[in-house]
Amino acid sequence: MIRSSALTLIECLVCLLILAGGVMPAHAQGAAPIRVTTTALDGPAAPCSNTFAAHELEHVTTVAGPTVDQFEANGAGLGVGDLDNDGDLDIVLGNDAGVNSILWNEGQLNFHVERMAHGDTRAVNLVDVDGDGWLDIVFTRRTGGMTYWHNTGTAGEANRFVR
């Protein structure tokens, strides 16, 4: 598929990390340097067991207008990571024209949905921005800006993520 837009800075960084297969120093203006290390996977991945279980997910990604344009068709973002440090992978789904959702994994692939304010999302990134041991959420937005949601680590609180 050919895209009409240029690569974003994040896409370029990821490509460089993959091609380099090693260490790349990086830092934001005024911040201490961050050291990023990548490693190759050890051996081939295990074959699929063909035992997938269907699950209904309470999230619908919508578009801003009456038709789907190329940008919207490229997706609205998905992030997978352990947001509450319980050992289960949680899912964050971005939404182009609606609100974003967190699907909290309660174990055994049982999820409960939490709706987040805002949408207009292009990509979902889960990263521990402040190094406190909790994954934070960074949304890149279709309009070009970013939204950072800090994970306070307070389980069960409505304000677990603070903007």
The end-to-end CA distance of the chain, in Å, is: 35
Average pLDDT over residues 66-83: 70
Q: Which pTM value belongs to this model?
A: 0.58
The answer to whether residue 5 scores a pLDDT higher than 50 is no
| 63 domain residue, yes or no | no
What is the per-residue pLDDT for 100? 87
Claim to verify: residue 87 and residue 157 sit in the same structural domain? yes
Mean pLDDT within 41-52: 69
Give SS3 for 34. Answer: strand
Same domain, 88 and 15: no
Whether residues 92 and 147 share a domain: the answer is yes
Q: Which domain holds residue 137?
A: 75-163
Instruction: Let me know if residue 54 belongs to a domain.
Output: no
118 within some domain: yes
Residues 31 and 79 in one domain: no
Q: How far is CA 95 from the centre of its chain?
A: 12
In whole angstroms, give the CA distance from residue 10 to residue 94: 17
Whether the per-residue pLDDT at 4 is higher than 50: the answer is no
The count of structural domains within the chain is 2
70 pLDDT higher than 50:
yes
Average pLDDT over residues 120-142: 88
Is 61 inside a domain boundary? no
Q: Which of 140, 67, 79, 77 is nearest to 104 (CA)?
A: 79
Residue with the larger pLDDT of the pair 92 and 98: 92
Task: Give pLDDT, residue 159.
Answer: 57
